[in-house]
Amino acid sequence: MMGEDKNNILIFIGAILFSAFLIFLALFIGSSQINPADILSYIFNSSSVSASAAIIIGEIRLPRIILAFIVGAGLAVAGAVFQAIIRNPMVDPYIIGISAGAGTGVMLALFLGVEIAIFNLNSLPAFAFLGAVITVFTVYQLARVGNKLPVLTFLLAGVAVSFILNSMMSFLMVLRTENLQQLVYWLMGSLAGSAWGDIKMILPYFLTAFAVILFYLKDLNILLLGEESARHLGLNVERTKIILLGAASLLTASVVSVSGSIGFIGLVVPHIARMIIGPDHRRLIPLAALFGASFLLLADTAARTIMAPMELPVGIITAFAGGPYFIYLLRNKSKNIW
């Protein structure tokens, strides 16, 4: 047991150090390379950093890096929660249509011009959450057979609903041609133009959903035993599932409202984290958050540098990585990875 705890600590230390390295790398490289000395001067609040470097670091790259961390962590954690509830490693917010539902909510709000601030909170993540919740409910009702939820039917229902929602978003894009290029990039998943205001907008929703999931980590572990066993252990299964589905949907909605539909992070990252640290969600969720943040930051750095000064939507990079992995999971679905 002591050796296992030591290994887990080393895994987390390694993940944190790798994340720190990626942050420094993302600050350094880009269409305009920054001197490492200027980065260190900015970090330690030195007056020696030039004005142009300070603007690039503090107003362009740093908010984008932080947003990539938040979005990547949110998608990975949401994917891990959905996989635990459905008890299948092929489930993630993108595949079952949650991202599309959240995106449709945002796009409808933008199309109708409905954007208000309530208690200093921007309403766009709330519209994304509404779209995500409606999508979860629709997919769940379409797939449910009596009191059972066949996993394959759930996946197929999610894909079908996702196609419909993506068609709706495409239709709204055609109607709103004045921002077509921006909307296309958003639909494909992009962190271009990230600002501190985006972080401020989604952070209350993100932290609320994340806190709820952390509170229910023990219940997530119990759900892995099966619903019947969970009931025998005294868990209110239906209430727990509803709360966790709501929290994971809010987590997804908050990040999708600023990043668009970035796929496969919620599929690939939890599976890799589970193979490394095991199925215990008390360790899995924090590690998945770190891995998801690092993965999206690495993908976004590649997206803005591969064809610089032109920038690729980061969703293209994550799809290139996640698509083959999804095929791998389909080919090995008979193996029990829990």
What DSSP string describes 122-154? ESHHHHHHHHHHHHHHHHHHHH-BTTB--HHHH
Cis peptide bond upstream of 309, omega within 30: yes
The H or E element spanning position 144 is none
Closest CA to 209 of 282, 291, 126: 126
Contact in structure between 27 and 63 (CB atoms under 8 Å) = no
Supply the CATH number for residue 32's domain: 1.10.3470.10
CB 328 within 8 Å of CB 56: no
pTM as predicted: 0.86
Check residue 179 and give its pLDDT: 59
Question: Does some domain include residue 248?
Answer: yes
| Average of per-residue pLDDT across 122-135 | 79
Helix (H, G, I), strand (E, B) or coil at 122: strand
pLDDT score at 334: 47
- Answer whether residue 6 is part of any domain: yes
The predicted pLDDT at position 297 comes to 95
What are the pLDDT digits (tens) for 157-188?
888 898 899 888 888 877 766 656 666 766 77
Predicted local distance difference test score (pLDDT) of residue 156: 84
DSSP H helices, 144-226, are 151-175, 180-188, 196-215, 217-223
Arithmetic mean of pLDDT, 237-265: 87
Q: 213 is in which domain, residue-wise?
A: 2-331
Helix (H) or strand (E) holding 121: strand 121-122
Is 25 a member of any domain?
Answer: yes
Is there a domain that residue 338 lies in? no
Give the Cβ contact number of residue 275 at 10 Å.
Answer: 11
- Is residue 336, in this structure, part of any structural domain at all? no
Let me know if residue 223 belongs to a domain: yes
pLDDT higher for 212 or 128? 212
Query: CA-CA distance, 194 to 335, in Å (whole number)?
Result: 41
Rounded to an integer, the average pLDDT of 118-129 is 65
Residue 65 CB neighbours (<10 A)? 23
Of 18-22, 39-43, 188-192, 248-252, the least confident: 39-43
Contact 108, 131 (CB under 8 A): yes
Answer whether residue 154 is part of any domain: yes
Q: Is residue 337 part of a domain?
A: no
Question: What percentage of residues in the chain have a pLDDT greater than 70?
Answer: 87
Question: For 217-239, how does the pLDDT look when each residue is reduced to its tens digit (9 = 90+)?
Answer: 999 999 888 878 888 888 888 88
Region of poorest pLDDT, from 36-50, 78-92, 195-209: 36-50
The burial class, CB within 10 Å (0-12 / 13-18 / 19+), for 51 is: exposed
Number of domains in the chain: 1
Structure tokens at 227: 């619903």
Q: Both tokens of residue 50? A: 């030039």
